[in-house]
Structure 1
């Protein structure tokens, strides 16, 4: 490639990267793809951010505006290993009618929450033994309804937050066998609440 990139050249490169499914970009990726010097690449990134062609997600990480990632994709990239759970997964499965306007994820890492132009992501730390019970949908890991419920109960109890009445949750689709199997990995207080739910059905 030419050592001198015009703005249109950068747009063409971003389109090319987008077709290659490169939605989340780092300065290193753009430096290698353009063939420019590191200094020239960093200057170009500033210009592309100013013009809205790159969205800064967090330090040294940008969203390609010409192939915009979803908030879920950003979570998978930033929080790896992580999966969507708690309120977000419960809403997706129809267990909660409403969830906060943010994405809730479980991770074995200790991460700060992330606020981006695409939305906010909340990360809850869980132990490796609880990192299971999720499905892979084209690279997006999401807890099953049963695991999301147990994660939700667990994190609220752990953080000493009030737990909504089970009457407020649509639990009809829950698979009791799966719930009981998954609950064995959780502390006794989580299993106790789940047993109350079991008696209610």
Structure 2
């Protein structure tokens, strides 16, 4: 087994883990990873995950990396806000939620943060394919808002939410209120409902 065989099998996804290599090539020698890094073929990211250096580091790869290096997880919170157009600026930390413990990785590609969410609340995401065969799990707009409000109990008033500078036009035009209500029922959290009401009070249609 040589690098060309590995490249042929995995380079299209941009990343590969040592576990995937052992599954695909039972005789895989982990010393090859050291060799291929030294030759500049691979870049270690974190937790036995490696990037093919020929793969450009773009948004699609960062999203895919966020989903892969800590599983299960889907992108949410500020990263989802940026994707849905709620905040104008890009985010430098990739934010996700996971039923696993809260975790943060500082890597050569950037910072990846994962916040714990109860397993029963692990829903409300869509599968994007921004780069062909690299599926990415991204929170719906409604779920991103609920995740954020749930994980930030300090947000209580309309003034608190106004300070976040979320785009009110996007909220008014894109928010699916029926879906939001369905998700709130699944959360079954009265204080969360109060926070959402404070947020919605900023919208003209809810004035």
TM-score normalized by the length of structure 2:
0.77
Q: Where does the alignment leave 5 or more consecutive residues of structure 2 unmatched?
A: 130-134
CA offset digits 1:52-86 (Å, max 9, x no partner):
21111123322222346712222222222111000
Q: Is the 8 A contact 2:142 2:180 kept in 1?
A: yes
Q: Is the 8 A contact 1:15 1:67 kept in 2?
A: no
C-alpha displacement of 1:161: 6.9
Structure-2 change in CA distance of 1:156 and 1:73 (3 Å) = same
Q: Distance in 2 between matches of 1:91 and 1:30?
A: 37
Partner of 1:25: 17
C-alpha displacement of 1:110: 0.8
1:73 matched to 2:64: yes
Q: Where does the alignment leave 5 or more consecutive residues of structure 1 unmatched?
A: 2-8
Structure number with greater Rg is 1
Q: Distance in 2 between matches of 1:49 and 1:103?
A: 25
CA offset digits 1:87-139 (Å, max 9, x no partner):
10011001112253011001000142112222211001000121111111242
Partner of 1:142: 138
CA RMSD of aligned residues (A): 2.8
Q: Distance in 2 between matches of 1:24 and 1:124?
A: 24
Q: Distance in 2 between matches of 1:99 and 1:22?
A: 22
Partner of 2:74: 83
TM-score normalized by the length of structure 1:
0.79
1:45 matched to 2:33: yes
CA offset digits 1:146-189 (Å, max 9, x no partner):
110111111111xx479541782122221221112212215222
